[in-house]
Amino acid sequence: MKLRLAKFLTGLLLLPLCMALSMTLWRAVAILAQSPTRLPMLHAFACVSGMAIWAIVWLFLPPMTRTYVLGHELTHALWTVLFGGKASGLKVTDRGGSVRVTKNNAWVTLSPYFFPLYTFIVALAWLLAAWLLPAVKPYAPIFLFWIGLTWSFHITFTLRFLAYRQPDIREHGRLFSYSLIYALNVLSIAAALVAVGTWSFAEAATDLWLNLQRLSAAAHTLYEWGLTRLPRFS
């Protein structure tokens, strides 16, 4: 009971961060739209093409549910290993999946909703290939195409599955789970936009901090206004 209350309060504290991250993301989008990108046009086109192709697949072809479920359970397994645990008994079907883990916490349970495993695999493959075989660098648009496609895959399936009553979400409470998932996904998208734009990470971090201060000041003003509206008794 105390743990559930602590997670609920943590979820409340995460709400201002979610709002501040949203404001920073919007600023990153605006700056990227008004200034040239660091990515060559071919690279940017490849990434956007990957997103567009996935949109077509998502709208007009049968859902790749088994592929998502496999990535979902493998993400659980990966994060339990990162926390020193072990994973076994992987099961994947069109209706769901499961994996046994020896160490579990909020990060392990919620990881599939904020960690795009397939995008991570593509990015890691590119980094290793570029490091070991410099001759592959001209083929960067191919990797960016798959990064755009797999990232869109992650976002669409995350939104789809969060619409259902997921045991992962119920385990840690809706407010805490949704706040954490939203914050980390927005953070990753904002970081990607900053990485390809003219805005620096230091400037983005400063903007995020200023947004948090603005929200804090607005909350304080609202609190004081509310106090003036309370009935007074003599």
For 14-26, how does the pLDDT look when each residue is reduced to its tens digit (9 = 90+)? 999 999 999 999 9
Q: Which residue has the tokens 């397939």?
A: 118
User: Helix axis angle, 201-229 relative to 2-34, nearest 10°?
Assistant: 120
Segment among 31-35, 91-95, 226-230 with least mean pLDDT:
226-230
pLDDT band at 104 (very low <50, low <70, confident <90, very high): confident
Compute the average pLDDT of residues 75-85.
93
Element (H, E) at 194: helix 174-196
Instruction: Indicate if the alpha-carbon torsion angle 46, 199, 118, 164 is positive or negative.
Output: negative
Q: 172 pLDDT band (50/70/90 cuts)?
A: confident
Q: How far apart are CA 111 and CA 73, in angstroms?
A: 10
Closest CA to 148 of 26, 45, 28, 36: 45
Q: What is the DSSP letter of 5?
A: H
Residues 65, 68, 69, 70: what is their CA dihedral angle, to the nearest 10 degrees?
120
Q: Helix, strand, or coil here: 39? A: coil
For the ranges 132-136, 142-146, 224-228, the one whose mean pLDDT is highest = 142-146
Beta-carbon count within 10 A of 10 CB: 16
Which residue did the predictor score with more confidence, 1 or 204? 204
Tell me, what's the pLDDT at 109?
92
Do residues 52 and 59 lie in contact, with contact meaning Cβ atoms separated by under 8 Å?
A: no
pTM above 0.75, yes or no: yes
Lowest mean pLDDT among 15-24, 28-37, 49-58, 201-210: 28-37
Least confidently predicted of 23-27, 61-65, 177-181:
61-65
